[in-house]
Amino acid sequence: MTPSPHKPLLATVLGERQTRPPMWIMRQAGRYLPEYREVRAKANGFLDLCYNPDLATEVTLQPLRRFDLDAAILFSDILVIPDALGQSVRFEQGEGPILEPVTAQTIAALKPERALDHLAPVLETVSRLRATLPAEKTLIGFCGAPWTVATYMIGGRGSTDQAQARLFALREPEAFAALVDILVETSIQYLVAQFKAGADVVQLFESWALNLDEEAFTRQVIEPNRRIVAGVRAQVPNAPIIGFPRGAAGNLSRYAAETGVNALGLDYSTPLEFATQHLPSHLPVQGNLDPLRLVAGGAQMERRAQEIIAAFADRPHIFNLGHGIVPETPIAHVERLVQLAKAS
């Protein structure tokens, strides 16, 4: 048998420290690239771009043509799941996603049985990427974690405090639990399908893990994420999974220990000393440069990037931003950041 090619980023997720940290950039296929904007103009809306395998494959590959990155991440969105469940989802220019909010009465009308058929074009994109990517590049699939997706489904849009979803979970616990059950099971099947289509690793985006007390964090973040990890691995044994609980703060170590994820994404507010002192030394971590440091560039960006790389030099580490790259990021700054990481 021909041995599988070494994929540095996948190996890191699985616990193998590399001679230099592999890297990718959250939202690396996005609006900061002029070629992305050209392709985006061809689509009839953002969701059309996500569901068009030709266009989604192209934009997924664009950053790898410019930069020496170690992974491609599927171009899609966390809100394809509520869309696949039958909820009205649209993206308005300058406003972001707008959803028709679910209620305790309308949750039963969601259609999990139709979700994978609806998501077939996304899975086709994964298959095409697997066939196209160089052998040493890791292919990352993903989905939004249930709490984060639920905040949009209940609130109808993003918010700074997720107050509507938090109140819904407190006032309508049975309805909220039913919604989480639907999201957990749909996410399991979606991620399993991504693995079967060719993904090497998947990431759970818990983008709104902040603003929850420890009891709510356990119930609404840790437990659903744990169920997804276990459910995926029941069908894909030893499936490599990265968890990214943005804003988890003092709950980070519990999240890592209790969900069973292979690697932990750190947001840019996580102190390096806290991570090195409170997370197990064998646990792979990912992150965590502030995206605005990349926008500003220069000596401060280089110093902070080097501090991050040095802090995690004794453990498996994937260099990344602590959240998504922003549209105003200069391409030259990304080029310099990649050079720094590769030279470390």
Active-site residue, 27 included: yes
Active-site residue, 227 included: no
CB of 64 within 8 A of CB of 23?
A: no
φ and ψ at residue 41, rounded to 5 degrees = -70, -20
Any long-range contacts for 300-308 (C-beta under 8 Å, 24+ apart)?
301/333, 301/336, 301/337, 302/336, 302/340, 305/337, 305/340, 305/341, 306/340, 306/344, 307/272, 308/272
Active-site residue, 66 included: no
CB of 231 within 8 A of CB of 185?
A: yes
Active-site residue, 152 included: yes
Q: Which of 36, 51, 152, 255 is catalytic?
A: 152
Q: Which of 27, 128, 226, 246 is catalytic?
A: 27
Q: Which of 20, 40, 66, 336 is catalytic?
A: 40
What is the spatial distance between Cα 318 and Cα 179, in angstroms, rounded to a whole number? Answer: 33
What proportions of the chain, in percent to the nearest 5, are helix, strand and coil? Answer: 50, 10, 35
Active-site residue, 37 included: no
Q: Which strand (E) or helix (H) includes residue 61?
A: helix 53-66
Q: Which of 70, 77, 83, 267 is catalytic?
A: 77
Q: Which of 17, 20, 31, 254 is catalytic?
A: 31
Any long-range contacts for 89-92 (C-beta under 8 Å, 24+ apart)?
89/47, 90/45, 90/47, 91/45, 91/46, 91/47
Q: Which residues are marked as active site?
A: 27, 31, 40, 77, 152
